[in-house]
Amino acid sequence: MHPTTTVRFAPSPTGALHIGGIRTLLYNYLFAKKKGGTFLLRMEDTDKKRLIPSAEAYITESLHWLGIVPDAGPLQGGKYGPYRQSERTALYQQYLQPLLAGGYAYYAFDTAEELEALRERMQAAKATTASYNAVSRGVMKNSFTLPASIVTEWIASGKPYVIRLKMPHKETIRFYDLLRGWVKVETATLDDKVLLKADGLPTYHFANVIDDYLMQVTHVIRGEEWLPSTPLHVLLYRYLGWEAAMPQFVHLPLLLSPDGKGKLSKRHADQYGFPVFPIAWESEDLTVKEGFREKGYLPEAIWNFLALLGWNPGNSQEVFTKEALIEAFSLERLGKSSVQFDITKANWFNRQHIQKQPAVQWVGYFQTAAAKEHIYPSETEAIAICTVVQERVTFPEDFWKEGSCFFLEPLTYDANLLQQKWNKQTEALLLCFMQALVLLTKWEDCTLKQTLQSVIQGQPLAAFLPILRMALTGRKTGPDLIAIMRCMGKEITYKRIHSFLAQMSNQTAR
């Protein structure tokens, strides 16, 4: 066993990172940091047909936004680099020879047409086993069916070939998953996977095992979609003589759509109107999909939200800082069941983390939005308003949405509310309150509250307070009324009430 806990996140730069991949990344990072270990970033970029040049930079920027810095990776370097598989291709070749020499792998020269014909024959026979396997390999063009001289000749002449793993016939492969316990797979259900493609590049399966071994990875934490591939990886460790150094496996349950019907996908994002990428992604057709960053989610909230989608701390605590998550995290508290994706919970976490920050942090958002309306509050004003509205904010942009009423006088008032609440008694109370405000010499919470109480004097509040709020802000809901008046100041508060009363008087007159 290696002395240092080492995990890796190994994405293929073939597109944007899905939020499920971000959860996998997060669990790897939390586990490494909890154990005082090493977190590696490795680009598995050997699929040249699907490779997107901008995808690696996208992955790097996503990690940067999340505040995750790998201990080793393409940018950081490290003693087991390089950390792009495309830069390690010469290294993989040396590990093919022991497999070929031991009879664990073989050359296959089948064309695409011949492979398709094999698949069709298997389908017609309603075969339940894999297509290219211990039985069918005997009728295909490979180094088991061809004379050695022909194999040598074809290789020398440059005839295209792949190298396949020779899957054992009728064997049970057992491996232990830290989350699921012992897993058993029958080799009859597995095909002879390609290890080296015709373009000379290794497949994911082969390079993955080589790199994990050479980089001394101790734990492979990945999605359950890789569970069917694990028997192949176990065989490679065995055939290469590395079984004693094989990492421990953890296959994470799926993230499901909000309705629980199927794996979360981009289609669900379009259907329900939420992001599934960490940051904005521009696809090859130039369409742009907004990410969580552009929607106004905080990295801390995404950490918190994703961590609890499949893991629980063993108590009722829900809101965690990054540091607290690292301290609390353990593989033992991961769940085995798939988890439904609930964007309303992500919004709730975002609200909690916004409220945990000092109001001054949001002043820039507020002032920038205000400037678009040609309004330029001072920093002192902005801090005061942000403080008042902060408890009602879910996204940073909401600070201006909630706080704009401090600068923009209401032009209209809700007719339904007026019909329900506006009457002679309410009008008299509001007029009396406005007149009492004029006499105030100290504009503070305590004096405003005392004035309000003295005016009401036991009168029912159910009608008066909603009308007062609407007179001041034009809205039916909002922050504490005393805080609103204190923040607006005496002049604006008086003016708003006066304007409201005048408008109501004009409507009555008509």
Binding positions for ATP: 266
Distance between CA atoms of 241 and 378, rounded to whole angstroms?
A: 69
Residue 463 CA, chain-centre distance (Å), reads 45
Distance between CA atoms of 451 and 456, rounded to whole angstroms?
A: 9
Q: In sequence order, what DSSP letters do the residues of 450-474 get, joined into one string?
A: HHHHHHHTT--HHHHHHHHHHHHHS
Mapped onto helix, strand or coil, the DSSP state of residue 393 is coil
Quick one: DSSP state of residue 143? T
Distance between CA atoms of 280 and 289, rounded to whole angstroms?
A: 5
The residue whose two tokens read 């499901």 is 256
For 494, phi then psi, to 5°, come to -60, -45
The DSSP bridge pattern shows strands 105-108 and 162-165 to be antiparallel
Length of the chain: 510
Tokens (6 digits) for 34 = 């909890």
Q: Is 266 a catalytic residue?
A: yes
Contact criterion met (CB below 8 Å) for 75 and 40: no
Tokens (6 digits) for 166 = 């020779």
Q: Calculate the CA dihedral of residues 195, 98, 85, 247 and round it to 10 degrees.
A: 90
**Element at 7 (helix H, strand E):** strand 6-9
Binding positions: 266
Distance between CA atoms of 250 and 227, rounded to whole angstroms?
A: 9
Rg (CA), the chain: 32
**Element at 39 (helix H, strand E):** strand 38-41
Contact criterion met (CB below 8 Å) for 46 and 202: yes
Closest CA to 193 of 143, 227, 232, 155: 232
The residue whose two tokens read 């999909």 is 289
Residue among 34, 159, 266, 490 flagged as catalytic: 266
Contact criterion met (CB below 8 Å) for 102 and 236: no
Distance between CA atoms of 27 and 306, rounded to whole angstroms?
A: 9
Distance between CA atoms of 233 and 56, rounded to whole angstroms?
A: 25
Determine the angle formed by the axes of helices 481-488 and 445-456, rounding to 10 degrees.
120
Listed in sequence order, the DSSP H helices in 42-144 are: 55-66, 89-93, 96-101, 112-124
State which amino acid sits at residue 58.
Y
Those residues whose C-beta lies under 8 Å from the C-beta of residue 259, and which sit 6 or more positions away, are 340
Catalytically active residues are: 266
